[in-house]
Amino acid sequence: MGLVQVKGLKFHAFHGCHASERKVGGTFEVDIDVTANVKHSAYTDNLDDTIDYVVLMDIASTEMKVRRDLIETLAQDIAESIKKRYQTAETIEVTIKKHCAPVMYDLDYVAVKAVV
């Protein structure tokens, strides 16, 4: 078993329930963890035999362009899109971090994680 990771993929996007979030947008960070059997690809040294992290980033980028009210929905949609592309993936975890959430508390970010 192996783990393919993408950490700290940053986007400016317009997700959120508040009108200001829809208009101005904000900074979002995406972390992706995909557990899969990568042993074969280690021997073949062939990109087609593994989980391509560039494809993972492309999937996240495509999904980030579709505005959603909830980051829970966004995380789930990214995870499901990855599963459609890589049916051999055993576990997919997608974490969405929302920086500068419109709350009255001093924090780095709020986050949700979807697991498929």
Structural domain boundaries, residue 24? 2-115
Q: Residue with structure tokens 């972390």? A: 31
Contact 38, 50 (CB under 8 A): yes
Residue range 20-53, pLDDT digits in tens: 889 999 999 999 999 999 999 989 999 999 999 9
Total tally of structural domains belonging to the chain: 1
- Joined together, the tokens standing for residue 76 give 């789930």
Of 21, 12, 116, nearest to 69 by C-alpha is 21
Q: What is the CATH number of the domain that holds 98?
A: 3.30.1130.10
Q: Please, what is the angle between helix 53-64 and helix 71-85, to 10°?
A: 140
Higher pLDDT, 115 or 20: 115
Mean pLDDT (the chain) is 95
- pLDDT value of position 103: 86
Residue by residue, DSSP assigns 45-110 as --GGGS--HHHHHHHHHHHHTS--S-HHHHHHHHHHHHHHH-TT-SEEEEEEEEET-SSSS--SEE
Mean pLDDT, range 42-65, rounded to an integer: 96
- Confidence category of residue 5, pLDDT binned at 50, 70, 90: very high
